[in-house]
A and B are shown apart, each in its own frame.
Chain A
Amino acid sequence: MATRNANNYKICIVKESSYGAINKTLTTAGGAVFFADKLEWNYAPITVELAKKENSLYKAAERTRITGKLVTGTLSGELTDGHEILLQAHFDDATSPYLYAAALPTTLSYNIYQLYLDSAGAVTHYDVILGAIINPLVISGEANGVIQYTATIEGTDYLQQQANSAGTALTLTNGTVVNGTPFLFGDVTCTTHTSKTTLLSFNLELRKTMVDNSQRFMNSRTKANDYYNQVGGTLQMSTLNDPAVDVYTNKQEANSFLNTITLVNPQKTWAIAIGGDLTDLQRPDADRGLFVTNETFDLCTDTDTTVPVTITVTAL
């Protein structure tokens, strides 16, 4: 048995031709994007326990049934300008500016490959998650750090330990890992709803509320669609407290605010405009150095933006 090095893999994301279908053409021209990020996934089927009993003190054998196939996982790492495919996958949108549609668009689904490499970097085997969607997508950063992302994956099926040869061979004409430049928190620019331009940290969770599993599986043991019935998320933000603008009275009362956070690297900017209702406002802790204002926003339309969140990618 060959012993594998856990770090010796790369990730590939490629769009499917139809929901849950395998796409074995992993080429840059075909829209495949390769990452050197961390992928953790697991087969997590939906199971039921039958009511049958053993008629003794023993538990009944063969009493569980898999009633639905489901694969869950997370993809995480440092966010670079090469990760734009994650925005496409989450927003179900093809081009910048990325934004949620007001009415349900065609949900985009992907194959997510874990490509195992030999010592020369060639792909020997692979696992693949089929019918994968990215939801939620979290982008976060804090002072002196690099912007991080965590993409939660939900797939309909998987193939494991497929050999990259014969009938299961992949077309890999260009497997170069994306050469994106990480976004540093130190290069972030922002304008908060109180016109502050300094930021201590932020955590943006973009989330689509999926329909119940009963509507996704219907009379099938395989998930047939990924319809969703609401979009939004939360923005948590810490800034240095400014008594002149951080006034707490009635701020949480039916007000929508606009915050903009722009990720910058030498190649591109990702301008994130976030409209949201202020749902939580923590008073500064007087025992901890300088006063810090912690705010949480529930993403919703803003009178200026008309959409909850927009991410505009601009080449520099």
Chain B
Amino acid sequence: MKAKYIGKLYRDADHKFIPGQEYDLSAKELEKFKGKFEVINEKKTKIEVTDNGNS
């Protein structure tokens, strides 16, 4: 899940987060750093459906 880091500069053994930058994180990681990220809602691609049901 894409999320923007809104916390202060942070680094541990596995992560380095720079304020304002976007990162791809798992739900587990987002939970671990709760309140430090803003999830970016990705726009869903519009799928047109034709009469015969095929897209």
Inter-chain CA distance A315–B22, complex, in Å, is 21
Interface size classification for chain B: under 10
Contact with A along B9-38 (1 / 0, CB 8 A): 111111010100000000000000000000
Q: Report the minimal beta-carbon distance from B31 to chain A, rounded to whole angstroms.
A: 18
Do residues A93 and B16 form an inter-chain contact, with CB atoms below 8 A?
A: yes
Contact B16 A305 (CB under 8 A): no
A 105-134 binary contact with B (CB < 8 Å = 1; else 0) = 110000000000000000000000000000
The interface stretch among A30-38, A95-103, A170-178 is A95-103
Q: How far is the CA of A134 from the CA of B28 in the complex (A)?
A: 35
Would you call the interface of chain A mostly helix, strand, loop, or mixed?
loop
**Structural contact, B18 and A97, CB atoms closer than 8 A:** yes
**A102 CA / B8 CA spacing, docked (Å):** 13
Closest B residue to A95 using CB positions = B16
Segment 33-53 of B: residues with Cβ below 8 Å from A: none
Give B42 Cβ to nearest chain A Cβ, in Å.
26
How many Å lie between the Cα of A101 and that of B16 in the bound state?
8
Beyond the given A100-B11, A307-B11, please list 14 additional residue pairs across the A-B interface where CB-CB is below 8 A. Answer: A97-B9, A97-B18, A99-B9, A99-B16, A102-B10, A102-B11, A102-B12, A103-B13, A105-B11, A105-B12, A105-B13, A105-B14, A106-B13, A306-B8
